[in-house]
């Protein structure tokens, strides 16, 4: 079957389009982030697909809101026996209560939390969030520097923040790139994909054929990295017995 793909943005919503030898256009919205995918007949072009998406925007937005309203995970208690992902690897937390500064230390397949006795679950979660942010702030400078050299551009500023529906974003006017703190839980290949994706917006605002060609040229396996990243919810911790 003959196929072709495109990557569009419609009213701020990213759209994956697959042109196939079919009769009718189909629109789907998928968890966990509300990714919109369109299967379109080969006879249609990007503008016609864009119009079809616009006509279905109320339904699309309703589906995306439903995904956002579903809890991504149970509240984490931050006790020995829980597992959390670090760079794509599941590590079980071991809590060690002792006086002094609270901090995390990876050790084998464990993530050890040293914390004063009586520290609340909320405070422990806050420590974990800060630790994840530190992981990203350590990993990002050399990664961004490498791609600045490859692409011949300079990232004016980058930040890490919690984002509910996106892995990253870019302001072309200011050159500011934001990265989702959840990326510290994913495989490093996923972080690189998002960094490259956002840096490509320095060259192309939208997600059309030009953007796709740029991604194909500079990161040929970006589709598999994207699928790996979007194949699991924003938060993927599981409970395991100690």
Q: Is residue 85 part of a domain?
A: no
> Does residue 136 share a domain with residue 58?
no
pLDDT the model gives residue 18: 87
Select from 69, 95, 110 the last residue of a domain.
69
> Does residue 148 share a domain with residue 60?
no
Q: Is residue 155 part of a domain?
A: yes
Per-10-residue mean pLDDT for the chain, 242 residues long? Answer: 75 87 90 82 93 94 77 68 91 93 92 94 93 97 97 96 84 93 94 97 86 93 87 47 30
Q: Is residue 105 part of a domain?
A: no
Q: Is residue 205 part of a domain?
A: yes
**Beta carbons of 28 and 36 less than 8 angstroms apart:** yes
Alpha helices in the chain (DSSP H): 46-55, 57-69, 121-151, 188-200, 209-218, 222-230
Q: Is residue 8 part of a domain?
A: yes
Output the domain CATH number for residue 213.
3.30.2010.10
Backbone angles phi, psi at 191, to 5 degrees: -60, -45
> Does residue 135 share a domain with residue 207?
yes
Number of domains forming the structure of the chain = 2
Q: Which domain holds residue 50?
A: 3-69
Backbone angles phi, psi at 41, to 5 degrees: -60, 150
Q: Is residue 112 part of a domain?
A: no
Q: Is residue 241 part of a domain?
A: no
Taking CB atoms within 8 Å and a gap of at least 24, the contacts of 211-217 are 211/7, 212/5, 212/6, 212/7, 215/7
Number of H helices, E strands in the chain: 6, 12
Select from 20, 36, 69 the last residue of a domain.
69
pLDDT the model gives residue 55: 94
> Does residue 59 share a domain with residue 145?
no
pLDDT the model gives residue 157: 95
pLDDT the model gives residue 65: 83
Select from 24, 51, 69 the last residue of a domain.
69
pLDDT the model gives residue 75: 58
> Does residue 55 share a domain with residue 131?
no
Q: Is residue 43 part of a domain?
A: yes
pLDDT the model gives residue 181: 94
């Amino acid at each position: 079957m003959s196929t072709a793909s495109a990557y569009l943005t419609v009213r701020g919503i990213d759209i994956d389009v697959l042109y196939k030898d079919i009769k009718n256009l189909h629109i789907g919205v998928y968890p966990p982030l509300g990714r919109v995918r369109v299967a379109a007949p080969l006879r249609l072009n990007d503008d016609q697909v864009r119009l079809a998406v616009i006509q279905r925007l109320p339904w699309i937005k309703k589906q995306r809101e439903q995904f956002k309203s579903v809890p991504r995970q149970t509240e984490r208690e931050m006790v020995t026996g829980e597992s959390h992902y670090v760079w794509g690897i599941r590590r079980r937390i071991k809590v060690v209560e002792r006086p002094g500064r609270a901090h995390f230390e990876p050790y084998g397949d464990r993530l050890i939390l040293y914390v004063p006795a009586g520290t609340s679950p909320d405070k422990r979660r806050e420590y974990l969030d800060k630790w994840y942010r530190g992981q990203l702030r350590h990993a990002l400078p050399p990664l961004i520097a490498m791609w600045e050299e490859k692409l011949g551009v300079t990232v004016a500023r980058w930040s890490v923040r919690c984002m509910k529906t996106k892995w990253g974003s870019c302001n072309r006017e200011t050159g500011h790139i934001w990265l989702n703190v959840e990326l510290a839980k994913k495989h490093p290949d996923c972080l690189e994909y998002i960094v490259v994706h956002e840096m490509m917006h320095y060259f192309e605002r939208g997600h059309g054929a030009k953007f796709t060609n740029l991604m194909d040229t500079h990161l040929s396996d970006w589709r598999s990295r994207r699928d790996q990243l979007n194949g699991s919810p924003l938060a993927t911790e599981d409970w395991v017995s100690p």
